[in-house]
Chains A and B, each alone.
Chain A
Amino acid sequence: MPSVCFYFEVHQPMRLNRFSVFNIGKNDESLSTYFDSKLNQKIYEKVAKKCYLPTNRLLLDLINEFDGKFRISFSLTGTFVEYCERFVPDVLNSFKELYKTGAVDLIEETYYHSLSSLYDELDEFEEQVKMHRQMINRIFNYEPKIFRNTEAIYDNRIAKKIEELGYKGIITEGSEKVLGWRSPNFLYKSFNANLKVLMRNYKLSDDVGFRFSVRDWPGFPLTADKYAYWMSHCEGDVINLFIDYETFGEHQWTETGIFDFIKHIPREVLKHKHLDFATVSEVVDRYNTMGEIDVPWAISWADEDRDVSTWLGNDMQIACFNELRDIERQVKKQGDEDLLHTWRLLQTSDHLYYVSTKGFEDGNVHAYFSPYDVPYEGFINYMNILQDLKQKVM
């Protein structure tokens, strides 16, 4: 009987201030000028109101209503939690309440939602994972068993490291490049590590995340009973539905009926006797692996390509990535906590995402999320800040 495994990614980046070449080397002390705190607060408060608070409320009610049979998992990034602690503490409290029900699992990731897993050495990556572990421990008094890397980026090297760090499972994209003819609805074993891998069912996940309100999609309108019916016809052990949390109320507005959809999901799924809900840890405990996956080149859940070209697809992105990575030693040598934190905030993958020049469908998604008109603006701004930071540590 397949278990339905809902996992929600909750993240907000620290968006950058407008920073021109004339600012480089001008302001000696304040690193906070890198970030547009006004814009960040505004966006966070908007999303809190439209998404986090109402969705958490709804999920809590559903968990109570179905007496714990409706089970879900969350991953909260460190930058997101910083927003919560700074601006709207109610949001974090509502996550705590959800966790207390016992029907909610928490997932580990890098504190900064960074691309540090793609650095040559994995020390920085490890530090950021441990920072996240400490944060979850501090707030929830819990140690996650399952890891999910930024945007589900995965390769053999990362898997090995995650095994070393003591996790039992890892999440990535159910990409055909890796699975071939095999179904994402089973657990697989990492090629070179004793780690169970949860493969995202991207078709069913994206039906909610991207296609829910697309009128010319044959599945439109998507109702809970239709969705549950589709799942009831899935073969396998687990249906991994990994979705950006902002889908609810933010990417898909209330008017699309997304909340009604969620509201009816538990009842409609449980109508099918062979379906149930499970958290990511429960899935890993309950099911055995069905073979190995060998991933020498990094995959991810992003864009049509489902690799890392979303962040490292053009020369501008690679230049920024290298600039930031290459000053690691200098930054750490300073022994300045504020500086280190800033350097890490700049590693958040969103900054590179805004610099992507991918066209057509993917580009439209990028444009929707980007605070910049064109990727070139994103590059200029980000690169100017990186140059300023570099001058500070060199």
Chain B
Amino acid sequence: MKVAMIGWEYPPFKVGGLGTHCYGLTRSLADKNVSIDFYMPKTKHGSSSDKDNLVIKEIGETEIFPYDRPEDKKLAGQFFESVYRYNDLLVQKVSGKYDLIHCHDWLTMKAGVALKEKMGIPLVLTVHSTEYDRSGWLYPNDWFINIEKEGMEKADKIIAVSHFTKRVIVEKYGINSDKITVVHNAVYPIGESEKKNIVLFLGRLTIQKGPEFFLKAAKKVLEHEDTRFVVAGIGDMLPRLISQAINLGISNRVIFTGKLTEEEVKHIYQISSVYVMPSVSEPFGITALEAISAGTPTIVSKTAGVSEAFQNCLRVDFWDTDEMANKIISLLRYKPLHKTLAEQGNREINIFTWDRVADNTLDVYRGIT
């Protein structure tokens, strides 16, 4: 079987779960004798593969980050234009004999649909997030929604990263649930290390990820417990979050790390005592699996996709910062809780392999080829 897979990011160029997913999926598919040409925009890092049947094809160039939310008109114009340019290039450059096209999220959907029509082969679409998630359900942008809707309608099969996302696809985009398969994400385990007295937030600093709730909970924790809070990542909310920490009077206990390298990310997961993922809207949340695989007990938003798939974690409503603080303090204070969650979490994480994701994806492929 030969697949033309169209993505946007691929390690080392990676900003979110989409890149992690494409990396794990393509490598495990390649191990199952599926040939894959992985198309992505050319980046200054350059991506490559050490597997014969997995070829990374970089085309065009772009500076656009798929999760940025352009606010001013001029920037927005450039943003949309460069997405169109990438998609147009794809339609020109993708050629050869493929059994199907597999694309990921809205960025690649236009090309996916055009290629399906041009080449007359089936289209599989994986939905890692929707415009509703990225906007935190506040003022979703119709421009994205229309692209997403068209892509979902034209796709022969859709893979959703959670039942939560599947419901959004059915209810908000009016797609027939029969053509949607849920495949939960996976993780390459990071491994444990010695813990420090740190509570971690790690993710893009955008409205979707709920970092402001993390800081509000931090304030409440610090009234009872001495610890440090780390906010790792970058994003449009960074300046606002820094002032929030100052206004809350906790800026001496909160560290903003900025962008971290892959090695630094692993390290911070390993030394943190608690990981909090207070996302407003989270289709899956691979970072939770990463933290757990580093032996770090994790508190996730109740609505996050990972929350439906993973048992051994704590759940909160993202807005309930009292309960978030209650759970953070409990994890810091009660060693048996910390230990049991870490142990049981580590045991459960073994089920979440990319091999399983590849198997489930392959089942979807086989259903249409």
B143 at the interface (CB under 8 A from A): no
A379 at the interface (CB under 8 A from B): yes
Say whether, besides A21-B224, A374-B314, A383 and B340 are in contact (CB < 8 Å).
Answer: no
Say whether, besides A316-B336, A316-B337, A377 and B326 are in contact (CB < 8 Å).
Answer: no
Distance in Å from the Cβ of A357 to the closest Cβ of chain B? 6
Chain B residues 202 to 253 lying within 8 A of chain A, measured CB to CB, are 220, 224
Contacts across chains A and B counted by CB atoms under 8 Å: 56
A380 lies within 8 A of B340 (CB): no
A319 at the interface (CB under 8 A from B): yes
Least CB separation from B344: chain A residue: A357
Distance in Å from the Cβ of A115 to the closest Cβ of chain B? 17
A47 to B196, CA, bound (A): 48
Contact flags (1/0) for B329-343 with A, using CB distance below 8 Å? Answer: 110011111011100
A21 lies within 8 A of B329 (CB): yes
A101 at the interface (CB under 8 A from B): no
Q: Residues of B contacting A357 with CB < 8 Å?
A: 312, 340, 344
Q: Residues of A contacting B326 with CB < 8 Å?
A: 20-22, 380, 384
B322 at the interface (CB under 8 A from A): yes
B334 lies within 8 A of A379 (CB): yes
A373 at the interface (CB under 8 A from B): yes
A87 to B367, CA, bound (A): 58
Say whether, besides A319-B334, A383-B334, A376 and B329 are in contact (CB < 8 Å).
Answer: no
Contact flags (1/0) for B308-329 with A, using CB distance below 8 Å? Answer: 0001111100000011011101
Distance in Å from the Cβ of A309 to the closest Cβ of chain B? 14
A380 to B334, CA, bound (A): 8
A314 at the interface (CB under 8 A from B): yes
Distance in Å from the Cβ of A387 to the closest Cβ of chain B? 9
Distance in Å from the Cβ of B326 to the closest Cβ of chain A? 4
B311 lies within 8 A of A384 (CB): no
Chain A residues 345 to 393 lying within 8 A of chain B, measured CB to CB, are 357, 373-374, 376-377, 379-380, 383-384
Q: Residues of A contacting B341 with CB < 8 Å?
A: 376
B314 lies within 8 A of A376 (CB): yes
A318 to B322, CA, bound (A): 27
B322 lies within 8 A of A380 (CB): no
A20 to B324, CA, bound (A): 10
Q: Residues of A contacting B323 with CB < 8 Å?
A: 20
Q: Residues of A contacting B333 with CB < 8 Å?
A: 21
A364 to B333, CA, bound (A): 29
Contact of A21 among B311, B312, B330, B344 (CB under 8 A): B330
Number of interface residues of B (CB under 8 A): 23
A377 lies within 8 A of B314 (CB): yes
B224 lies within 8 A of A22 (CB): yes
Say whether, besides A21-B224, A22-B224, A374-B311, A314 and B340 are in contact (CB < 8 Å).
Answer: yes
Distance in Å from the Cβ of B26 to the closest Cβ of chain A? 32
Q: Residues of B contacting A304 with CB < 8 Å?
A: none
Distance in Å from the Cβ of A17 to the closest Cβ of chain B? 13
Q: Residues of A contacting B325 with CB < 8 Å?
A: 21-22
A315 at the interface (CB under 8 A from B): yes
Most A CB atoms within 10 A — which of B314, B326, B327, B335?
B326
Q: Residues of B contacting A319 with CB < 8 Å?
A: 334, 336
Say whether, besides A21-B329, A21-B330, A357-B344, A374 and B337 are in contact (CB < 8 Å).
Answer: no
Chain A residues 1 to 37 lying within 8 A of chain B, measured CB to CB, are 20-22
Q: Residues of B contacting A318 with CB < 8 Å?
A: 336
Distance in Å from the Cβ of A181 to the closest Cβ of chain B? 35
A71 to B325, CA, bound (A): 55
B340 lies within 8 A of A315 (CB): yes
A384 lies within 8 A of B330 (CB): yes
A380 lies within 8 A of B224 (CB): no
Least CB separation from B348: chain A residue: A359
Distance in Å from the Cβ of A380 to the closest Cβ of chain B? 4
Distance in Å from the Cβ of B291 to the closest Cβ of chain A? 15
Distance in Å from the Cβ of B338 to the closest Cβ of chain A? 9
Q: Residues of B contacting A22 with CB < 8 Å?
A: 220, 224, 322, 325-326
Q: Residues of A contacting B314 with CB < 8 Å?
A: 374, 376-377
A318 to B337, CA, bound (A): 11
Q: Residues of A contacting B330 with CB < 8 Å?
A: 21, 380, 383-384
Q: Residues of A contacting B335 with CB < 8 Å?
A: 315
A318 to B336, CA, bound (A): 9
Q: Residues of B contacting A379 with CB < 8 Å?
A: 334, 336-337, 340
B224 lies within 8 A of A316 (CB): no
A170 to B56, CA, bound (A): 72
Q: Residues of B contacting A315 with CB < 8 Å?
A: 335-336, 339-340
Distance in Å from the Cβ of B299 to the closest Cβ of chain A? 10
Q: Residues of A contacting B315 with CB < 8 Å?
A: 373-374
Contact flags (1/0) for B45-82 with A, using CB distance below 8 Å? Answer: 00000000000000000000000000000000000000
Distance in Å from the Cβ of A31 to the closest Cβ of chain B? 20
A20 to B334, CA, bound (A): 13
Q: Can you identify 20 A-B contacts, CB atoms within 8 angstroms? A: A21-B325, A21-B329, A21-B330, A21-B333, A22-B220, A22-B224, A22-B325, A315-B335, A315-B336, A316-B334, A316-B337, A318-B336, A319-B336, A357-B312, A374-B314, A374-B315, A376-B312, A376-B337, A377-B314, A383-B334
- Besides A21-B333, A22-B220, A376-B312, 9 other CB < 8 A contacts? A20-B326, A357-B312, A374-B312, A376-B337, A377-B314, A379-B336, A380-B337, A383-B334, A383-B337
Pick the 6 closest A-B CB pairs, nearest first: A315-B336, A20-B326, A319-B336, A380-B330, A316-B336, A21-B329
